[in-house]
Amino acid sequence: METLLVATLNKHKLYEIGKILKGFKIYGKGIEVNEDGKTFEENALKKAAAVFKKFKKLTIADDSGLVIDCLDGKPGIKSARFATPPTPQNLCRKVLDKMKKCKSRQAHFVCSMAIIFHTGKIKIINGFVYGEIANEMRGENGFGYDSIFIPSGFTKTFGEMTDTEKNKVSHRARALAKVKEIFSKADKTK
């Protein structure tokens, strides 16, 4: 079984990735990285590169965030640091507070994923899920902004969905589906 390093210490992300990417021995490896990139892709690559440099093994990293139309794309790449402390309650409350005067509730999640193969070859892919922001927090499942995001075509927030339901439509699931496709088309070690 191939070893796959995931550049994260976020146990929720690691759990989601493990549920979606079967057939790997998955290990979370976090290295302190200054996420000062201007895009999700830059931050994902910084994290993957730091872990790959230390361990020289097949590595993936993601940078994800919530982009809200009426807030000019905020919280965006600062999604994980949008409130202090960055608990799901604080993050969601801050978004809901800032959206009180918004007419549009349109939003989307982005997941940029960097893959670094054993050879050092790099591949970056993206996954998106579009939807809207609920008027209040709903559901206890998931993490981050899950309790306020309703994906298009659904009435439930991610926070009200089971892991199985969310992992069929989330931005991370869509990015990881592309990762699985890349791995299935090529020798994982290249």
Task: Flag whether pLDDT at 27 surpasses 60.
Answer: yes
Give the pLDDT score at 1.
72
User: Secondary structure of 109-158 in the HEC alphabet?
Assistant: EEEEEEEECCCCCEEEEEEEEEEEECCCCCCCCCCCCCCCEEECCCCCCH
CA–CA gap between residue 46 and residue 7 (Å, rounded) = 10
Contacts of 37 (CB under 8 A, 6+ apart): 43, 45, 46, 63, 77
Confidence of residue 22 (pLDDT cuts 50, 70, 90): confident
Confidence of residue 154 (pLDDT cuts 50, 70, 90): very high
Confidence of residue 187 (pLDDT cuts 50, 70, 90): low
Q: Does the annotation count 97 as an active-site position?
A: no
Mean pLDDT of 88-95: 97
Q: Could you give all domains of the chain from N- to C-terminal order, each with its CATH number?
A: 2-185 (3.90.950.10)
Give the pLDDT score at 11.
86
Residue type, position 165, single letter: E
56 is in an annotated binding site: no
Per-residue pLDDT tens digits for 31-69: 888 889 999 999 999 999 999 999 999 999 999 999 999
Of 6-20, 64-78, 126-140, give the lowest mean pLDDT range.
Answer: 6-20
CA–CA gap between residue 75 and residue 65 (Å, rounded) = 7
* Edge-to-edge order in the sheet of strand 106-116: 24-28, 2-6, 59-68, 106-116, 122-133, 149-151
| Coil vs helix vs strand at 2 | strand
Per-residue pLDDT tens digits for 106-153: 999 999 999 999 999 999 999 999 999 999 999 999 899 999 999 999
Of 14-18, 79-83, 142-146, give the lowest mean pLDDT range.
Answer: 14-18
96 is in an annotated binding site: no
The one catalytic residue among 63, 69, 72, 97 = 63
Instruction: Looking at 6-126, list the stretches that DSSP marks H as alpha helix, in order from N- to C-terminal side.
Output: 11-20, 40-55, 88-98
160: how many CB neighbours lie within 10 A of its CB?
Answer: 19
22 is in an annotated binding site: no
Give the pLDDT score at 189.
42
Which residue's structure tokens are 């790959």?
Answer: 52
Confidence of residue 188 (pLDDT cuts 50, 70, 90): very low
13 is in an annotated binding site: yes
130 is in an annotated binding site: no
Residue type, position 158, single letter: F
Give the pLDDT score at 54.
93
